[in-house]
Amino acid sequence: MSRQPTPLFPPSFVWGTATSAYQIEGAVAEGGRGPSIWDEFCDRPAMIAGGETGRVAADHYHRWPADVDLMARLGLDSYRLSLSWSRILPTGSGPVNPEGVDFYERLLDRLCAVGISPAVTLFHWDLPSALQDQGGWMNRDTAYRLGEYAQVVGERLGDRVGMWMPINEPVVHTLYGYALGVHAPGLALGFEAFQAAHHQLLGHGLAVQALRSAGCDNIGIASNHAPVHAASDSPADVLAADVYDHVVNWMFADPILLGKYPAEELAQLVSGPLDADLKIISTPLDWYGINYYEPTVIAAPVEGQGTAGVLEVDLPPGLPFAPVPMTGYPTTDFGWPVVPEALGEILRTFKTRFGAALPPIYITESGSSWHDLPDEFGEFVDRARIDYHDAHLRAVRSAMDDGVDVRGYFVWSLLDNFEWAAGYKERFGLVHVDFQTQERTPKASFEWYRALIAKHRAARV
Ligand code: FCB
């Protein structure tokens, strides 16, 4: 890959990193935090690689001052974090836990003091267990609980938050958590899971309205999107890819940006007062956040056969599509294909599909896992991670040159962390974490990103 300097972005372009509460905080039973579905899921045998859990994770709950120092050294404009819902509202609703609010107040205050604007996600998959006990996102009431939680947080923390995202990747939470059962809450409901998607989207809309009524602005979403390619030109493969594209991309973006589901067949998978709900779901946003990792190749299903492993999960037989491995591209150590131009492609597709209905875009996550090892000097020279971000930033820049309005890029992730069902083996961080000692070691990619940000900061003057 190229060793030319990464191209320059406009002076106002926002440089960030992203994390989420359950993946870094640890301290699951401290400070009055109530249990979340991920605590319970990790306790189930064989759900997480190596039997690992997020109980300690990167111990950020105790080490946050040093972590903010690292972010200041990096020179970030913005730090995307998520709040642990059950730290603030231990049972998901009802009385506020003052210790939980204090924790985030101290963290946000320190970020602001060092000139880093907090970008806050309210729900990054760690639903309070008490809400799951009542059905979780299959229960419409959960959407209203998210709205109330947004109101509480907006009132208490709003003056320090620069950007808001009520929810993270509803598609992944729906498919992995409710359809396939490989993420918390571990339900395998198949297509019935779309009810949980609808309620997350409704919760998103209610939370947007609650945040606005609490005086907050600059509100968006962090939603996972990527191109879907057909395995061949055969009509069966093209149709299967189109169905999959609707299920994973447009089922989630269209309701928010266009106020409708992308196809009647998909709308029929959900119930509720749809017209009224879609009005709430499509409450206007200030921006739209895309989390991008990898494109998917889809073929027509072979009768009676499931699909083993391509999306790190086995899909049951009977689906109208079959993901197949993407060939011809390098893969990360997690096995994900590295296809930077697909990031440019999805950005252009958004512009074409949504036109004037599309607000400015942020890349709210982009990153890659490499099983970094120290060299003889104890340094992590993660050239592959640098090349990954460099190439993906080039793809963003080229989409911007084609008229897509992209305003910022958040690296996933600041720190190595608990990668959900994959445990601690997968490392996405610019900073290496030794999970035995909790020692932090900035990798070469940290220095690369620091220099890139510094160059842009200098151009701002
Ligand atoms: C995204 C999640 C994030 C992280 C990255 C690798 O799907 O939002 O928490 O796990 O993948």
Collect all residues with Cβ–Cβ distance below 8 Å to 169 and sequence separation of at least 6.
Answer: 125, 222, 223, 224, 291
Collect all residues with Cβ–Cβ distance below 8 Å to 282 and sequence separation of at least 6.
Answer: 205, 255, 256, 257, 258, 259
Phi, psi of 390 (to 5 degrees): -55, -50
Q: Would you state the pLDDT for residue 3?
A: 62
125 CB near ligand 1 (under 6 Å): no
SS (H, E, C) 149-203: HHHHHHHHHHHHCCEEEEEECHHHHHHHHHHCCCCCCCCCCHHHHHHHHHHHHHH
172 CB near ligand 1 (under 6 Å): yes
Phi, psi of 419 (to 5 degrees): -90, 60
Is this prediction's pTM over 0.85? yes
Q: Do residues 135 and 143 touch, judged by C-beta distance below 8 A?
A: no
> What is the CA 387 to chain-centroid distance, rounded?
21
On the question of pLDDT at 184 being above 90, the answer is yes
DSSP state of 410: E
On the question of pLDDT at 427 being above 80, the answer is yes
On the question of pLDDT at 91 being above 50, the answer is yes
| For range 373-397, the mean pLDDT | 98
Is 169 one of the catalytic residues? yes
Q: Would you state the pLDDT for residue 316?
A: 80
Given pLDDT bands bounded at 50, 70 and 90, which one contains residue 303? Answer: confident
Query: Which member of 52, 294, 345, 365 is catalytic?
Result: 365
Kindly report the number of other CB atoms within 10 A of residue 402's CB atom. 11
| For range 290-305, the mean pLDDT | 92
Cα 461 to middle of ligand 1, angstroms: 34
Query: Which member of 25, 52, 169, 419 is catalytic?
Result: 169
Kindly report the number of other CB atoms within 10 A of residue 133's CB atom. 12
Q: Which residues pair with 145 in a beta bridge?
A: none
Phi, psi of 336 (to 5 degrees): -85, 135
Residue of 255, 231, 253 lying closest to 242 (CA atoms) = 231
Q: Would you state the pLDDT for residue 224?
A: 98
Q: What is the number of the ligand 1 atom nearest to the C-alpha of 169?
A: 8
On the question of pLDDT at 2 being above 60, the answer is no
C-alpha span between 42 and 313 (Å, rounded): 17
Q: What is the pLDDT of residues 196-238, one digit of tens each?
A: 999 999 999 999 999 999 999 999 999 999 999 999 999 999 9
Three-state SS at 109: helix
224 CB near ligand 1 (under 6 Å): yes
By residue count, the chain amounts to 461
Which of 23-37, 142-156, 207-221, 293-307 has the weakest average pLDDT? Answer: 293-307
Which CATH code fits 14-460?
3.20.20.80
C-alpha span between 30 and 42 (Å, rounded): 18
| For range 438-442, the mean pLDDT | 98
| For range 298-320, the mean pLDDT | 78
On the question of pLDDT at 318 being above 90, the answer is no
Cα 460 to middle of ligand 1, angstroms: 31
365-397: b (≥16 Cβ within 10 Å) or e:
bbbbbbebeeeeeeebebebbbbbbbbbbbbbb
| For range 253-265, the mean pLDDT | 97
C-alpha span between 126 and 167 (Å, rounded): 11
413 preceded by cis ω (within 30°)? yes
301 preceded by cis ω (within 30°)? no
Judge residue 327's burial from the number of C-beta atoms within 10 Å of its C-beta, 0-12 exposed, 13-18 middle, 19 or more buried.
exposed
Q: What is the pLDDT of residues 337-368, one digit of tens each?
A: 999 999 999 999 999 999 999 999 999 999 99
168 CB near ligand 1 (under 6 Å): yes
Is 379 one of the catalytic residues? no
52 CB near ligand 1 (under 6 Å): no
C-alpha span between 328 and 340 (Å, rounded): 13
Comparing 460 with 221, the larger pLDDT belongs to 221
419 CB near ligand 1 (under 6 Å): yes
Question: Going by CA atoms, what residue is nearest to atom 2 of ligand 1?
Answer: 169
DSSP β-ladder status, 322-324 and 14-18? unpaired
Backbone conformation region of residue 99, classed left if phi is above 0, alpha if psi is from -120 to 50, else beta: alpha
Q: Would you state the pLDDT for residue 291?
A: 99
On the question of pLDDT at 311 being above 80, the answer is no
77 CB near ligand 1 (under 6 Å): no
Cα 277 to middle of ligand 1, angstroms: 27
Q: Residue type at 18?
A: A
Q: What is the pLDDT of residues 100-153, one digit of tens each?
A: 999 999 999 999 999 999 999 999 999 999 999 999 999 999 999 999 999 999
Cα 267 to middle of ligand 1, angstroms: 27
Q: Would you state the pLDDT for residue 1?
A: 47
291 CB near ligand 1 (under 6 Å): yes
Collect all residues with Cβ–Cβ distance below 8 Å to 266 and sequence separation of at least 6.
Answer: 194, 246, 247, 251
Cα 40 to middle of ligand 1, angstroms: 19
Q: Would you state the pLDDT for residue 276?
A: 98
For the chain, the average pLDDT equals 96
DSSP β-ladder status, 117-123 and 440-442? unpaired
Cα 366 to middle of ligand 1, angstroms: 9
